[in-house]
Amino acid sequence: MTERSSLAVDATTPSGAPGSLDELKARLAARSAQLPGRMRQCAQYVLGNPSQVALATVAEVAAGAGVQPSAVVRFAQSLGYSGFSDLQDILRKRLTSRATDYRGRLAELRHGKDVSATTLLNDFAETAQISLDRLIREVDPAKLQQAVTLLARARTVHVLGLRRAFPVAAYWHYLFCRLGIPAILIDGVGGMILERARTIAPDDVLLVATFAPYSDEVVTFTRLVCDRGGQTVTVTDTVLSPVATMAAVTLEIGESERGGFRSLSATMCLAMTLAVAVGEARDPASKEAL
């Protein structure tokens, strides 16, 4: 089936267009395996940047997703919307109660010409604040507690994150060690990363951080662990992440960016939250400073 014919099938779905971001996520997650390439790019960008998409033009969304503007419109129509503006409406609902002018902020981040160190500091701090605000609004408390419970029961926590996600994995490993929680950092030294999947026992848990573009090694490693019956907690950017459907628990997190440099502020905040909450769940009396 061609991309265009696949979209035509989606556009006539009797269930109608999603009426909220949660419904949109569920719809796309259910169709993730059938999404053509450009539609998957649109879906990943929209789910990873809902606040920006709510206030952006079609051209800006297309540039962010790496597709043509017409693909963004077809993506919206494939979900049952009459056009891109209808898709934006459900995303704008999330912003109506906030006084912050995100359009002005994001325009400044995208188009500022001054690249002095002070300006970059201000811009990156602003980007981090937007990411942290989004984390507070969008984190699923039930999934967060489920992840903590699973990790707290693990004999050993195996931590994996490569490329941009490596600092997250390294920080988890540091925190777990300081809290006295048995933890192993899977760093791929010696080219033996996939072989280490066999060392994860049934009563261990794999804790993964991965973001687009996803590392093939991380995806393969996670699949190997899950195929052997292992349990996985994943921190990733959208429900369309290739590891999302494998994990026992998936925590989605969207980071803002400035000039292509994507923040890790919210991710590191979530990483600290997970580690400390797991430490408290395992040993409430432990108050060692981190």
Q: What residue ranges define each of the domains in the chain, with the CATH number in brackets?
A: 3-92 (1.10.10.10), 141-282 (3.40.50.10490)
Task: Name the residue with tokens 């848990």.
Answer: 205
Length of the chain: 290
Residues 98, 25 contacting (CB under 8 angstroms): no
Q: Which string of b and e fits 184-209 if b means at least 16 CB within 10 Å?
A: bbbbbeeeebeebbeebeeebbbbbb
First to last CA, the chain: 54
| pLDDT tens for the chain, residues 1 to 290 | 333 333 333 433 335 788 877 788 888 887 777 788 888 888 888 887 777 787 788 888 888 888 888 989 998 888 888 888 888 888 877 555 443 444 555 555 555 556 678 877 888 888 888 888 888 888 889 999 999 999 999 999 999 999 889 999 999 999 999 999 999 999 877 777 888 888 888 899 999 999 877 888 888 888 888 888 889 999 988 777 788 888 889 898 878 777 667 789 899 999 999 999 999 998 765 545 44
Answer whether 0.95 is exceeded by the pTM: no
- As beta bridge partners, residue 234 has 208, 250
CA distances from 245 to 48, 128, 232, 283 (A): 17, 28, 10, 31
Distance CA 130, CA 254 (A): 10
The pLDDT assigned to 252 comes to 86
The pLDDT assigned to 3 comes to 39
Distance CA 160, CA 140 (A): 22
The token duo for 55 is 């206030």
